[in-house]
Structure 1
């Protein structure tokens, strides 16, 4: 059968095959249900749900819910993946960069096919390395370009619900994940705004109002078992709205297995990430969990979260029982998130009838918590199809409301004929003046973002944190802002725990004008150096602090914490230690450092994994000695694969030259492997820089750095010695404040995975948060002015125009490759194609000049490729082949600048 597939022929009813056809658990599926009419008349494919993540595999946790919604309710989902994950590890081969990205795309397509998902939009963003920094992710991806492409895909696919990741700057949240979610939130609003990206209309993609946006996951606790969604989730923030869908539902499509098992099958497709052996869930239904979804925002009414496993999408993608007609909008709007005690607030209820369904005799009511008062007229009359109306209410906040508490205002839209719909709007009690501990740079940026996008409710569960070196002092700033309407005066007090001192005891501020800001500064000292540091201390190493601010008539308190990090004054070496396997640690002057504290993975006894270290320095280099006790040697990598050190036994040395880095793009990180599979050269150690200012093989990225090791025989562990010249660091040293850490990865298996991680300054997120590292001083080193080196980051991402999988999908669903600009439907067409001597001969019609990438692809491998710049007109090309083309596809992408088109032809 010949199938000539481009966007135009697709929309005219020619058979369509999407890239999801390339695989499922049972193997190749070239012909799928996508050959049905996938597109809505006159437009691209219509989706119900769109998941937005950063990497292939980010959606894995949601596939149980998405799959059963698809199987039993016909809900069609798609996935936006900003990167192809080419910066991640590879547990099965040596591919990295774009070739790894294309492998990971194929894994993702196979995985999501279990849930009936056929539409994946990889946006060609660069996956550079693991980071906890959303600002760095934004810098690398480009904000406006990436947001514009997400909005284009939303407008093209017209989903009713967006599901995304956690946008909050909470501890340990992957920076790529956070930035992807932030962009998803922005896109939720921008896609509906005709003034944002108006050029999309010229491509046929009109503004689109998504009904709801959800975060996959929740913070709190939820019950196990089939009744979990109806019992309900208990969120840590009481005003969070959390829906549940039980993963234990049986899938008839998948032979009667539960979706919890099917979801695990899907996860095992992500084999490059080491997920191929992921454990299966419990078989006992009472122990099977639910997938939880937290409401971020909504334009549509939603049922009670405990009404069942469909509540997350009812009212938006599915009709809610007893609810308003599907497509009806209803939401509340307040002037701001914070409300002052005793104030009055104007609350506007917005209602809009669905495009084809009126809402007769509509009435709105608003309910507030006990002690609050509400007044207003909620009669809206009849809303004609597509018509919007508003009702305004005045809400009075009690004078004794406590600053910092959150409350939900509840709105209900009723109509005698069609039922009711309810929504909530969260507000927080503010204070005229509230002192806040100076935020870390990434937290400050996040808070500015929440205010700019009117999603301040997402700024929750972010405890303000500042690090202090053990036995050291630092200045602490408290920021003040007057949010009231009269000048304020008062005091700020910093209440610190035992073992810390603060000077002075309090600070005054006077005559702070409405809308004005100010700050006061304290000096805090750790007066008891015997206090445990890092996560050796209770509460994951957080020492609680209170910032108490008084103002005329009251006071407000902010909870915060100090992170007590190790501190060490280094002893300069009179003679540089030898960098040799037989070096004795007595050559290293100074204190012994315990690096045996677990920070990730399985708890293990000292005989399994433990160690100590010593650090010294000369005028031009650090010298580090590490001695590790280990019972089993993990997989020994060949020298060419000694990178991404978390996969096997290795040592990580982390250095922040001036102790001020916000993320690891301005630090030095070396991963040292004590042994390699290189018998011809004596199986020597190897080192590689990763996730830092200059990644790559050690000899190239850190010239002059030296490593040596001794591996026990019989194996009982190893020692590593390293010399790190100061001139390979990304900046000059501040001798009074250098961030330093030593971390150990321990593997007891041969599957390129580590089970336990220990180290010196140990916390969740420590690999990516330099402020959590230990502080070392070099008392005999002269200070020099800062001279930072610009980060050298990976700059090559896998591109959709180079992906046969993406080309086949784009040719069928009318969404441009990578979310880039549409070159114009029918800009490239395959008129005919057939096997020729040693290749495939094809006749193409090109209406706009560009670079054509022509593939012969059998659904699993590229059999031939030809790249050619083509002018407008007809062309005959021959693609050389490396195998038979029977049953394969001829796929063409045409790219001109940032615009593209795609075509496909079944041979």
Structure 2
């Protein structure tokens, strides 16, 4: 084949383009991703690869019943851990996509769709997630995919800010709920209908994973799906037993566990076998959020059938939009909500699911021995002005500035706040998860006799005072006399991990703090009988994979999420020997040498454990320090295995997911300290690089198989498209011919049974027929083909041709 072509563009030495002007061309319907998309029966909408992993037993049974199921994953998990290598960012996203496809494939799920949003770090904030993901753009893409794939059932995650619930999970679920309604509304994203040829589509129902609103214990055995009775009319709970037989003779629970082990980067390869006794196998649980069709009543035999969720045609319980009847209340009283809880309640109203309001128990934290002002909000739901009193009965161990306070002249439909100051009075009360919630009663009564009550709770977090020392400690991993005169902090309480510590020698610790001028000093002694994996010094990140100490600091003591905090982790040893330090999931994550200059640290091995000593300039924190309420936590990550998987997590202020919940951190006072004038909060530096679907051969080839554009974006219109027409192989290259009906960028992948053998990208200025030479970096194997992605503005089109030898 001759290669003497007119060189118009040369890109990275790989590609040569030749073209000529021609008439506007229409893209062919065959051989491209254009056309009507695949129809799905069920679509799971999650945030990361592996979010669907606990439901694969059910998806497998649905596939067995003839259903076609898909998974929509908003990110590829680039911000997660990697227990098997050093890859991170887009390279890790490529690996995790492959793990997800292998895992869900065992349950018969062939369609895995991605939106290419970035997985930045663990956060419990839906609001921060929405900012990073561009919430409206993400919703538009989810709606487009629902209209394209037309699933009967949507399945998603918990949209509520339940303690420890990942903010990415929350927003993924909220977007699924919004898409459930918006996809059916022709006024929502109307350009998808008028410009892209899609039609409004209303899924029959939407459910989230997990068991909510049930008064029953979680049962096991073949009858588990019938044994759970909802607590009220707005909690519809369904189960699918995992002990049913898969086609290979194993239980679906065993198949699901095999699938979960495919997520090796997440340390799941070592998950234990499921019980072999069917009586010990439980259900996959679902809570129905909304249904447009009748469905069998939960707890009935019809509802216990594996496909009951899919079919939903039982005559027992109809549910249509607007069928929910709100409680009959004419006045309400409520303890002030955490900001994320208040925002969720507002969202539930806007989203058309008001029954989700109040699904997160109201709690607030009080420092041990300290005080906090708490507003009690009184809302007048009646049609006349109301006045009256609010009465508080504090929990044991707490005092309140007044048991009763008045409110006056609340107009109909409005609210007022009545403040009470609570003080922790019992120093013997345990703090954090050891103390748990301290519920109490708040009630309101009006002059007209209306009454309301709520039973919220307070939670105690530990508190300390950091003494000033005249001389700065020597940062050598040893606590010399006088360097740390403050009271020791107990770091031995467990907050996460499957197994408790075997004893103090297995995992426990204490810490002492001091302040020398503008520097906070921390000395921790950790008892740890078995070393975890020694990471390479260049792999000093994602500290939860091995032994480490994390120091969490919230300068204002009021941060909504960790993007305005510092979270500094010290790994006491590396494969090269010395300790290393990094920041993670905070205002600026990365190696401490780059993200926290001025921080000094040292670690010393001691019999049965190690010490860590750190000096942190207060100026390195992402905002000015409030010396009365510096948020503080110290968390120990313990791993007794060499495979880079964390096991037990202990610390000072301990709750599940506490590393992402600054409001549950402890409180430190800095007597005598005054922040320098003019100090300002630093804008967070959030990771923004995600793998694009056009760079993922699996995603590109799937777009062809299901006839869908990439990334939830639109397909290019006929007047702005480009597609392959043929491809010929030479000795060391392939000449791809393609046509275009407008301007755009073409990327070509040479694919075969062994993967990708070459690639090239070029831009096209207008319509015509063109040639692109793509060099091979290895000989082609069987099933050789050229696959191309055309990008034009927001749209994309995938095409493919077989290679001619």
What is the TM-score of this pair, normalised by structure 1?
Answer: 0.82
Say which is worse superposed, 760-769 or 691-700, in terms of deviation: 760-769
* Corresponding residue for residue 12 of structure 2: none
* Corresponding residue for residue 525 of structure 2: 627
| 1:710-732 superposed Cα distances (whole Å, 9 cap, x missing partner) | 013xx510000001111210001
The structure 2 residue matched to 1:507, chosen from 387, 401, 405, is: 405
In the alignment, structure 1 residue 43 sits paired with structure 2 residue 36 = yes
1:498-897 to structure 2, matched below 5 A, reads: 498-537=396-435, 541-551=436-446, 552-584=448-480, 586-601=482-497, 602-604=499-501, 605-678=503-576, 683-712=577-606, 716-784=608-676, 787-824=680-717, 827-858=721-752, 861-871=755-765, 872-886=767-781, 887-897=783-793
1:318 shift after superposition: 3.0
* Corresponding residue for residue 218 of structure 2: 222
The structure 2 residue matched to 1:136, chosen from 116, 119, 128, is: 128
In the alignment, structure 1 residue 275 sits paired with structure 2 residue 173 = no
C-alpha contact (below 8 Å) 1:237/1:460 kept by paired residues:
no
1:239 shift after superposition: 4.0
Q: 1:45 to 1:687 in 2, by over 3 A?
A: same
SS in 2 for 1:306: coil
In the alignment, structure 1 residue 249 sits paired with structure 2 residue 145 = no
SS in 1 for 2:659: coil
- Structure number with greater CO (CA < 8 Å, separation at least 6) is 2
SS in 2 for 1:457: helix
The total of aligned residue pairs comes to 767
Q: 1:577 to 1:860 in 2, by over 3 A?
A: farther
C-alpha contact (below 8 Å) 1:548/1:556 kept by paired residues:
yes
| 1:118-168 superposed Cα distances (whole Å, 9 cap, x missing partner) | 111100111000011111111111111000000000000011110000111
C-alpha contact (below 8 Å) 2:557/2:629 kept by paired residues:
yes
CA distance in 1 between counterparts of 2:620 and 2:631 reads 16
C-alpha contact (below 8 Å) 1:245/1:310 kept by paired residues:
no
| 1:65-122 superposed Cα distances (whole Å, 9 cap, x missing partner) | 1111112x21111111111110111111111101111111111111111122111110
1:332 shift after superposition: 4.0
SS in 2 for 1:692: coil
Q: 1:234 to 1:304 in 2, by over 3 A?
A: closer
The structure 2 residue matched to 1:492, chosen from 390, 395, 411, is: 390
| 1:496-524 superposed Cα distances (whole Å, 9 cap, x missing partner) | 11221111221111221111221111111
Q: 1:598 to 1:319 in 2, by over 3 A?
A: closer
CA distance in 1 between counterparts of 2:179 and 2:733 reads 44
| 1:624-671 superposed Cα distances (whole Å, 9 cap, x missing partner) | 000011110000000111111110000000000010100000000011
C-alpha contact (below 8 Å) 1:300/1:316 kept by paired residues:
no
SS in 2 for 1:177: helix
CA distance in 2 between counterparts of 1:178 and 1:454 reads 17
C-alpha contact (below 8 Å) 2:333/2:377 kept by paired residues:
yes
Say which is worse superposed, 307-316 or 799-808, in terms of deviation: 307-316
1:320 shift after superposition: 3.8
Q: 1:691 to 1:736 in 2, by over 3 A?
A: same
1:439 shift after superposition: 1.0
C-alpha contact (below 8 Å) 2:71/2:113 kept by paired residues:
yes
SS in 1 for 2:574: coil
* Corresponding residue for residue 153 of structure 1: 145
The structure 1 residue matched to 2:169, chosen from 177, 191, 204, is: 177
Q: 1:236 to 1:134 in 2, by over 3 A?
A: farther
1:49 shift after superposition: 0.6
CA distance in 1 between counterparts of 2:123 and 2:615 reads 26
C-alpha contact (below 8 Å) 1:655/1:739 kept by paired residues:
yes
CA distance in 2 between counterparts of 1:140 and 1:309 reads 43
1:585 shift after superposition: 6.2
C-alpha contact (below 8 Å) 1:245/1:309 kept by paired residues:
no
In the alignment, structure 1 residue 90 sits paired with structure 2 residue 86 = no
CA distance in 2 between counterparts of 1:595 and 1:585 reads 21
| 1:741-771 superposed Cα distances (whole Å, 9 cap, x missing partner) | 0000001111111211110111112111101
C-alpha contact (below 8 Å) 1:734/1:783 kept by paired residues:
yes
1:302-451 to structure 2, matched below 5 A, reads: 302-308=295-301, 317-318=310-311, 320=313, 331-332=319-320, 334=322, 425-451=323-349
1:531 shift after superposition: 1.5
1:330 shift after superposition: 5.8
CA distance in 1 between counterparts of 2:144 and 2:296 reads 30
1:49-68 to structure 2, matched below 5 A, reads: 49-68=42-61
1:862 shift after superposition: 2.9
CA distance in 2 between counterparts of 1:532 and 1:238 reads 37
SS in 1 for 2:331: coil
Q: 1:514 to 1:189 in 2, by over 3 A?
A: same
SS in 1 for 2:658: coil
CA distance in 2 between counterparts of 1:270 and 1:787 reads 42
1:831 shift after superposition: 1.3
C-alpha contact (below 8 Å) 1:545/1:559 kept by paired residues:
yes
* Corresponding residue for residue 106 of structure 1: 98
* Corresponding residue for residue 16 of structure 2: none
Structure 2: gaps (5+ residues): 1-25
Structure 1: gaps (5+ residues): 1-6, 19-38, 335-424
1:204 shift after superposition: 1.9
1:228 shift after superposition: 1.6
* Corresponding residue for residue 204 of structure 1: 197
1:227 shift after superposition: 1.8
Q: What value does the CA root-mean-square deviation take over the aligned residues?
A: 2.1
C-alpha contact (below 8 Å) 1:761/1:772 kept by paired residues:
yes
* Corresponding residue for residue 34 of structure 1: none
CA distance in 1 between counterparts of 2:306 and 2:220 reads 21
